[in-house]
Amino acid sequence: MTVRPSPRSANDIRVNPVAGALGADVDGVDLCRPLGTETAARIRRALLDHLVLFFRDQELTPDALLAVARQFGTPIEYPFVTGIEGYPEVIEVAKLEHERVNFGGIWHSDTTYLEAPPMGTLLLARQVPRAGGDTLFANMYLACKTLSEGMRAVLGGLTAINSSAKADASRTREDRVRSAPKDGADRELEAEHPVLRTHPETGRRALYVNVAHTVRFGGMTEAESAPLLGYLFRHLTKPEFTCRFQWRPGSLALWDNRAAQHNPINDYHGFRRIMHRVTLAGDRPR
């Protein structure tokens, strides 16, 4: 008879902040083992508190990665790239030795051009360069809170148009779309969301525009929108709003896409970086 290991106790988990703005290392949990209800609830609470969580030495198969993802939401397929064989919700995020542009290599929240963007993302490192390829994360609660009262009042009445076809972002998808295209990969997706969104679980307001996908404000032209959007794009990536994560094989990051942005640094030309990503279904921003 096979004896299944008991779930790790929530009391065994240690959550250690990595920066003043956001991010925490989670120690004392083996994600290959089933999480108990209390443990999963504590991890989710830590995610809401810290916006991005980092787990080390997690040797997860695709099945195990999806099992972890389902503890925190519903995995969904990425709209432009086919998942790995047998696992449509798991996509490979890769930069190969000959490539110069990395996938998603620009500050962004994932797929904000969808009517209901994902609530969260899991990214697992399979192969990483000896040095380089870190990921930056930024806290959009802080980006919102540190704006002036007058600016928040202005932004609170605005919506933003987000497009999948914005030039810099679509350029970073080209190699992945060529290698694993999905039906309709050449279509443009567009969605309109509040510039300041209210987090559905915490009730806190977060700045919800990003340089990768936001093209203009609702009811305005791109030219009219550009000066204020440019200011916001510079503001939201201030160093004091960020943390930085150095990957190792088996590292897993779980982040809250509703209140955090990320940017994978493209500083490892000539080396290979292979990651597996799962996104979790979200709701329409309000």
Active site residues: 108, 110, 262, 277
Residue 85 has φ and ψ, to the nearest 5°, of -55, 125
* Distance of alpha carbon 263 from alpha carbon 80, whole angstroms: 19
Radius of gyration of the chain (CA): 19
The tokens for 104 are 């998603």
Helix (H) or strand (E) holding 127: strand 120-127
- CA 169 to the chain's CA centroid: 14
> What own/partner pairs with CB < 8 Å and gap ≥ 24 does 149-156 have?
152/196, 152/205, 155/195, 155/196, 155/207, 156/195, 156/196
Q: What is the DSSP letter of 200?
A: T
261: phi then psi, degrees, rounded to nearest 5: -115, 165
Question: Which token pair is 254?
Answer: 């779980």
Say if CB 162 and CB 113 are below 8 A apart. yes
Largest alpha-carbon pair distance within the chain?
68
Instruction: Check: CB of residue 163 under 8 Å from CB of residue 213.
Output: yes
117 closest CA partner among 31, 228, 212: 212
Residue 93, SS3? strand
What's the rounded Cα separation, in Å, for the pair 260 and 274? 22
